[in-house]
């Protein structure tokens, strides 16, 4: 059965609806309002951007999501987990400072920031991966596990390891503790995290993404923002400039369908920079993450794109 993916472009006549109102309407139409959030902790998972990066999603997107959660009685917080590599987000203190320097404060987002896997990246919960081929368990940041509702707020763009970053990457590597990230990169063998075969790595992402989907079954929404699309991730302090024009915002209850829809929108674009992003995706076989996730059956590559 085809999943529903809702789409809105960035054109907003100021006299009728601004971007924040348009994003809120998109989310509510996708089913956000049907989730019981009253008195519940709501994890808004996003990427705060490496210091120096200029493409990450700005705090105003987070504020729309946080405000909607609070309107429904929820207690939202922004979260991400620490990185494996040296940089400005390798431990919770530096990660929080990075988030603040990039504008993520309660006054700008409407909620607090909690680093999901704690001070040293070791505050994790190990959960089984139901159908994992390479990763039999997923190590997920404790703050994410402690939440009742999960909102994936993702900047869709290219990526230097996975080809592209979307909802599936947000669920897998994004929710993993530092050790969990090493396990995914190494396809279940952390000691091989930088040398593992590419498809095995991508399939490990699909494995661990399923664990988060199952944990929050019926209490999870996905938002992909196709803006400032560089071939590089927001982890890059000096990422390439965006290579193609902004496309729009998508929302869905299906992480596989929303990533597939974003890929299709890139491929269908007539923007001259589209080929650069496609080359990055194809050079790393990025679509294989979507293929592997679909084989696991926690979503569908078949979708109906509904434009608002």
Find out whether 1 and 257 touch, Cβ atoms under 8 Å. Answer: no
How sure is the predictor about 120, in pLDDT bands with cuts at 50, 70 and 90?
very high
- What global pTM score does this model have? 0.97
C-alpha closest to that of 254 among 210, 219, 299: 299
pLDDT of 233 reads: 95
pLDDT of 17 reads: 85
Distance CA 232, CA 283 (A): 13
- Is the pLDDT at 202 greater than 80, yes or no? yes
Beta-strand pair 220-226/149-155: parallel
pLDDT of 67 reads: 97
What's the rounded mean pLDDT across residues 169-181?
A: 97
pLDDT of 12 reads: 85
pLDDT of 53 reads: 95
pLDDT of 13 reads: 76
- Is the pLDDT at 269 greater than 80, yes or no? yes
Strand order in the sheet with 3-8: 112-115, 75-80, 41-45, 149-155, 220-226, 248-252, 3-8, 303-307
- Euclidean distance between the first and the last CA atom of the chain, given in angstroms as a whole number: 21
pLDDT of 86 reads: 86
pLDDT of 216 reads: 97
Per-residue pLDDT reduced to its tens digit, 22-65: 999 999 999 999 999 999 999 999 999 999 999 999 999 999 99
What's the rounded mean pLDDT across residues 217-246?
A: 96
How sure is the predictor about 16, in pLDDT bands with cuts at 50, 70 and 90?
confident
Per-residue pLDDT reduced to its tens digit, 130-151: 889 999 999 999 999 999 999 9
Burial (0-12, 13-18, 19+ Cβ within 10 Å), 217: exposed
Distance CA 32, CA 65 (A): 10
Q: What is the CA radius of gyration of the chain?
A: 18
Per-residue pLDDT reduced to its tens digit, 56-114: 999 999 999 999 999 999 999 999 999 998 899 999 999 999 999 999 999 999 999 99
**Average pLDDT, whole number, for the chain?**
96
**Share of residues in the chain with pLDDT > 70 (%):** 100
């Amino acid at each position: 059965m085809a999943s529903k993916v809702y789409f809105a472009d960035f054109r907003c006549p100021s006299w009728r609806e601004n971007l924040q109102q348009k994003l809120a309407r998109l989310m509510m139409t996708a089913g956000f309002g049907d989730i019981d959030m009253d008195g519940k902790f709501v994890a808004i998972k996003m990427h705060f951007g490496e210091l120096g990066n200029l493409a990450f999603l700005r705090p105003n997107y987070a504020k729309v999501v946080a405000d909607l959660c609070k309107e429904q009685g929820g207690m939202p917080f922004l979260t991400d987990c620490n990185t494996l590599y040296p940089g400005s987000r390798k431990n919770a203190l530096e990660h929080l400072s990075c988030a603040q320097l990039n504008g993520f404060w309660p006054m700008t987002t409407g909620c607090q920031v909690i680093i999901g896997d704690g001070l040293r990246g070791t505050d994790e919960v190990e959960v089984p991966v139901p159908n994992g081929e390479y990763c039999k368990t997923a190590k997920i940041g404790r703050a994410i596990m402690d939440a009742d509702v999960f909102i994936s707020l993702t900047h869709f763009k290219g990526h230097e390891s996975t080809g592209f970053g979307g909802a599936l990457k947000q669920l897998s590597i994004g929710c993993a503790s530092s050790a969990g990230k090493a396990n995914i990169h190494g396809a279940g063998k952390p000691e091989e995290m930088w040398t593992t075969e590419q498809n095995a790595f991508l399939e490990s992402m699909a494995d661990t993404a399923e664990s988060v989907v199952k944990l929050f079954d019926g209490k999870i929404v996905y938002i992909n923002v196709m803006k400032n699309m560089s071939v590089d991730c927001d982890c890059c302090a000096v990422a390439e400039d965006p290579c193609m024009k902004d496309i729009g915002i998508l929302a869905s209850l299906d992480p596989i369908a929303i990533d597939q829809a974003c890929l299709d929108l890139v491929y269908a674009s007539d923007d001259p920079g589209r080929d650069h992003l496609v080359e990055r995706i194809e050079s790393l076989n990025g679509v294989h993450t979507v293929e592997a996730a679909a084989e696991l059956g926690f979503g569908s590559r078949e979708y109906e794109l509904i434009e608002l």
